[in-house]
Amino acid sequence: MMVPISWYLIFAAALFSIGLFGVLSRKNAIAILMSIELMLNAVNINLVAFWRYSYSLEISGQAFAVMVFAVAAAEVAVGLAIFISVYRRRGTISADEIDLLKW
Amino acid sequence: MNIESIIWLIPFPPLIAFFLIVLITNRRKKASHTIAICAALISWLLSLLVYWFASSIDNLGQNPIVSSIPWIPTGDSWLQIGVQFDPLTAVTIFFVAWTVLMIFIYSVGYHNFGHPKGDHDRPGLPPHGATVSDVHGHKNLVPSIEPMYSRFFAFIGLFAFGMYLLVVSNNLLTLFIGWEIMGLCSYILIGFWYAKLSARAAMIKAFLTTRVGDVFMLLGIVYLYSKTGTLYFRDILYNPEVLHELGTTASGFLGFSVAGLIGLLLFIGAVGKSAQWPLHVWLPDAMEGPTPVSAMIHAATMVSAGVYLTLRIFPLLAAGMEHGHPTQIMNIIAFIGTFTAIFAATIAIAQNDIKRVLAYSTISQLGFMFAAIGIGAYIAAAFHLVMHAFFKALLFLGSGSVIHGMEHGIYHTGEHIDPQDMFNMGGLRKRMPVTFITFVIGGLALAGFPLITAGFWSKDEIFADAFGHNHWVVFITLALAALLTAYYTMRQITLTFLGESRTDAAEHAHESVWTMTLPLIILAFFAIVLGWVGIPEDFPFIGNIIPNYAHDFVGETLLAEPETVNFEFHPLITSIIVSLGGLGLGWIVYRKIKSGAVDPAKKALGPIFVILENKYYFDELYDFLFVKPAYRVAENFSYKWMDRKIIDGAIHWVAQMSIVIGSFLRNFIDKPIVNGFGDWVGESTKKLGTVFRSIQTGRVQQYMLLALVTLAGFTALLYYLLVAGH
């Protein structure tokens, strides 16, 4: 007996919500980055779950997930580099204090 | 080449000369006068050729040489212009050709050709003389050449064209064109020295005064055309039916017949051109022009044109004449002519300027001619016209020579005197013998010296006609005028040439150059012998020697040849008495004038002389009647009222209204609505920006939250619309 797809979806939604909450509420930029990772992984779970229940003969779902991993890794690399640069300039990586978008 | 073509060609050489000089040779003085004189010579030659040919035609008056071409289409017919050569044309062109040629030649000397350029001369002023050094190093002031030498010859060329055109015309229209060309040239040449204020005033006066006459003349031409449909002389003047109809139809104006009214209008034109009272005022002032101009335009040709026109339309004037009684219009002409003759003669006795005396004399003599026309003495008038042209041109050229001689004397002595004032002259007979003799011949002709001079025969004929037809008033008045004529002529000769020199300048006067004296001699010749062609056939002793050419030839011009008046002794004796009496009186009164003396006539006549000196105050009268009111009308009506109030007022009103409308649009439309809207858009944008600025915190997490809320909101909306709604 297979676990119904709704369980995966609920789990992924929960994980996404946790990530979203983290992004919106955490002050530390690195924590925000980690929360983004959670949201991306929630997406991956969705992708894989839908693939398993709909198009299991093809590998497009897994390929998508791998692609997301790659993008996430690249994003983290760029994000961390920016944070280091921000830290060097402003001496902090608290999201509240990085208000460069307002002049 | 047939004779008609030659007549066509007569007027054109001077016109061509005018254009050649104006366009090409205007900087080369010698070329200019050569062209002008050659042109005058060609016209002279052609004129005499045609004259010689025409005089061999029997009965030329009834069969004149005519030629015409269509010129302007008038509806379904053509307005013809053309030339005509009848006896009146012949005698007129004879004196025109001679005087014009003589005056052209004379102008070369008069304008000091061959002399150096003046020290301070400038265009628009008479030459002031040039300083030259002789071999010993002495500096002498000599006459200098006229700065606008070429221009002068161009204009007199144009003038000659106008006169020839007028004479050979066979219709009133081309005659009028020639008439107006001459008027223009007269205006230009009176003001030839345009830098002189007096010359400018004189030119305007001449132009405006003759214009008064010309307007009436044009009216007459139009009236004639509307009544007859033609302006062609032979269709009107030699057509008894037309003449009879014009002469018997009433015009409804003061009882004139149509012919009379047309005659009156044309005659007013002649009054202006021939300077008859009351339009005489311009001619004396016209003496401001160079003397050749005075001689040609204001003595020999242009002023004669008025008499010529009146002679030309004589059949029209005489239309409706019954039993030898003059028509109403002829009485008017006789009155104007007679009155002008005595009126101008009286003024002439009180003038001191040598040219002004001659100017008034011209007016007076033209008055004689009009008087003769008025009493029906057609031939006498034509005869006197020709004689007068010769001797008056001679006198004017002589006076120019005298003035030249005097100027020479003034250059020598350096005196500051008027070279034209006869009281500064005297004794010039020794200095200027040729001028003296020719001037005396001209003067005697003017005075009508018995038997030998031309003026005697022509004047005698007028007297004989006036006496023979019982025009007593005309006869006595003209006799008085003739007495005065002889008197002022002798006054002029005595003051100028006889006695002793009254100034040093007169002592050092000098005979003029041959180009000036040769024309004098030729004209003097005519001033004597030409009169002999008009000796009445029944004149005692000498009447039969030469046939009365004037009467036979000129008389043919009319349909009904005028009868010869029988010879009578009374007019002849009157003529001789007034002539010799006037001459003698003039000599007695003026023979012993000392330098600086007052005119003896002034003592004798007292206040009358002052009136005469001031020309009966006609200039002042016209100034008061016409000039001043014209200025006042111009100032008060045209300028202050019409221009300042009406025209300027209208413009100001428009401007004021524009301002009012403009400020309304500005204050009520532009400022509140257009500007207000623009400002509102800007201000609102600014306010909106301020409002939205507050949510731009720069914090990424708040933006994201906002995005989330928005997304959630839209999602809910979408859900509601797509799912829950159905």
Secondary structure (H, E, C), B493-525: HHHHHCCCCCCHHHHCCCCCCHHHHHHHHHHHH
What single DSSP character describes residue B641?
A: I
Cα B628 vs. chain centroid, distance in angstroms?
A: 23
Is B699's CB within 8 Å of A99's CB? yes
Does residue B466 register a pLDDT over 90?
no
CA-based nearest residue to B419, from B350, B358, B506, B513: B506
At B102 the pLDDT is 92
Is A101's CB within 8 Å of B698's CB? yes
Is B708's CB within 8 Å of A20's CB? yes
Distance CA B50, CA B70 (A): 23
**What DSSP element (H or E) covers B69?**
strand B65-74
SS3 B169: strand
Does residue B214 register a pLDDT over 90?
yes
Q: Which residues of B touch A93 (CB under 8 A)?
A: none
At B294 the pLDDT is 87
Compute the mean pLDDT over every residue in chain B, rounded to the nearest whole number. 87
**What DSSP element (H or E) covers B350?**
none
Does residue B555 register a pLDDT over 80?
no
Interface test with B, best of A39, A86, A98 (most B CBs within 10 A): A98
Does residue B545 register a pLDDT over 70?
no
How far A56 CA sits from the closest chain B CA (Å)? 30
The answer to which of B120-129, B133-142, B223-232, B630-639 has the lowest mean pLDDT is: B133-142
Interface test with B, best of A24, A35, A86 (most B CBs within 10 A): A24
Distance CA B642, CA B638 (A): 5
Contacts of B492 (CB under 8 A, 6+ apart): B354, B357, B358, B422, B443
At B569 the pLDDT is 81
SS3 B113: coil
**Four-residue CA torsion sign, B114, B117, B118, B119:** negative
Does residue B631 register a pLDDT over 80?
yes
How many CB atoms are closer than 10 A to CB B227? 18
Q: Which residues of A touch B711 (CB under 8 A)?
A: none
Q: Which residues of B touch A99 (CB under 8 A)?
A: 697-699
How far A27 CA sits from the closest chain B CA (Å)? 9
Cα B366 vs. chain centroid, distance in angstroms?
A: 15
Q: Which residues of B touch A96 (CB under 8 A)?
A: 699, 701
Chain B residue with minimum CA distance to A101:
B698
Chain B residue with minimum CA distance to A96:
B699
- Residue located via tokens 């008034």: B360
Per residue in B52-109, pLDDT (tens digit) is 888 888 777 777 888 888 888 877 878 888 898 888 888 899 999 999 999 999 999 8
Per residue in A19-72, pLDDT (tens digit) is 999 998 888 989 999 999 999 999 999 999 998 888 878 888 889 899 999 999
pLDDT level of residue B421 (50, 70, 90 thresholds): confident
At A7 the pLDDT is 92
CA-based nearest residue to B505, from B433, B592, B426: B426
pLDDT level of residue B429 (50, 70, 90 thresholds): confident
* Mean pLDDT in residue range B309-313: 90
* Mean pLDDT in residue range B567-590: 86
Interface test with B, best of A20, A86, A99 (most B CBs within 10 A): A99
Contact B362, B274 (CB under 8 A): no
Is A99's CB within 8 Å of B701's CB? no
How many CB atoms are closer than 10 A to CB B6? 18
Does residue B325 register a pLDDT over 80?
no
Chain A residue with minimum CA distance to B695:
A102
* C-alpha pair distances (Å), B283 with each of B30, B210, B370, B382: 31, 10, 17, 21
How far B713 CA sits from the closest chain A CA (Å)? 17
**Does residue A86 sit at the B interface (CB-CB below 8 Å)?**
no
Distance CA B494, CA B387 (A): 23
How far A101 CA sits from the closest chain B CA (Å)? 4
At B324 the pLDDT is 64
Is A24's CB within 8 Å of B697's CB? no
Pairwise pLDDT comparison (A103 vs B501), residue with the higher score: B501
**Does residue B685 sit at the A interface (CB-CB below 8 Å)?**
no
Is A101's CB within 8 Å of B696's CB? yes
- Tokens representing B635? 């100032």
Q: Which residues of A touch B701 (CB under 8 A)?
A: 23-25, 32, 95-96
pLDDT level of residue B378 (50, 70, 90 thresholds): confident
ipTM score: 0.80
Q: Which residues of A touch B705 (CB under 8 A)?
A: 24
Q: Which residues of A touch B708 (CB under 8 A)?
A: 20, 24
Q: Which of B698, B705, B708 sits opposite A99 (nearest CB)?
A: B698
* C-alpha pair distances (Å), B123 with each of B105, B149, B151, B194: 22, 9, 10, 8
Distance CA B460, CA B316 (A): 26
Distance CA B372, CA B338 (A): 9
CA-based nearest residue to A96, from A35, A31, A17: A31
Does residue A97 register a pLDDT over 70?
yes
Q: Which residues of B touch A97 (CB under 8 A)?
A: none
Spell out the domains of chain A, with CATH numbers in brackets.
Answer: 5-90 (1.10.287.3510)
Q: Is B176 exposed, middle or buried (0-12, 13-18, 19+ CB in 10 A)?
A: buried
Q: Which of B696, B700, B708 sits opposite A95 (nearest CB)?
A: B700
Question: What percentage of chain B has pLDDT greater than the value 90?
Answer: 35
Q: Which of B696, B698, B701 sits opposite A100 (nearest CB)?
A: B698
pLDDT level of residue B675 (50, 70, 90 thresholds): very high
Per residue in B487-511, pLDDT (tens digit) is 999 999 988 888 888 888 888 888 8
- Residue located via tokens 């064109």: B177
Question: What percentage of chain A has pLDDT greater than the value 70?
Answer: 98
**Does residue A82 sit at the B interface (CB-CB below 8 Å)?**
no
Q: Residue B73 forms beta bridges with which residues?
A: B78
pLDDT level of residue B467 (50, 70, 90 thresholds): confident
At B650 the pLDDT is 94
Q: Which residues of A touch B697 (CB under 8 A)?
A: 99, 102
Q: Which of B696, B698, B704 sits opposite A24 (nearest CB)?
A: B704
Q: Which residues of A touch B698 (CB under 8 A)?
A: 99-103
Q: State how beta strands B77-85 and B65-74 pair.
A: antiparallel
Q: Which of A32, A98, A102 sits opposite B696 (nearest CB)?
A: A102
Does residue B559 register a pLDDT over 70?
no
Is A102's CB within 8 Å of B700's CB? no
A vs B, Cβ pairs < 8 A, gives 30
Q: Which of B697, B704, B708 sits opposite A99 (nearest CB)?
A: B697
Question: Model's pTM, two decimal places?
Answer: 0.78
Contact B125, B193 (CB under 8 A): yes
Q: Which residues of B touch A32 (CB under 8 A)?
A: 701
Chain B residue with minimum CA distance to A27:
B701
Contacts of A31 (CB under 8 A, 6+ apart): A22
At B180 the pLDDT is 93
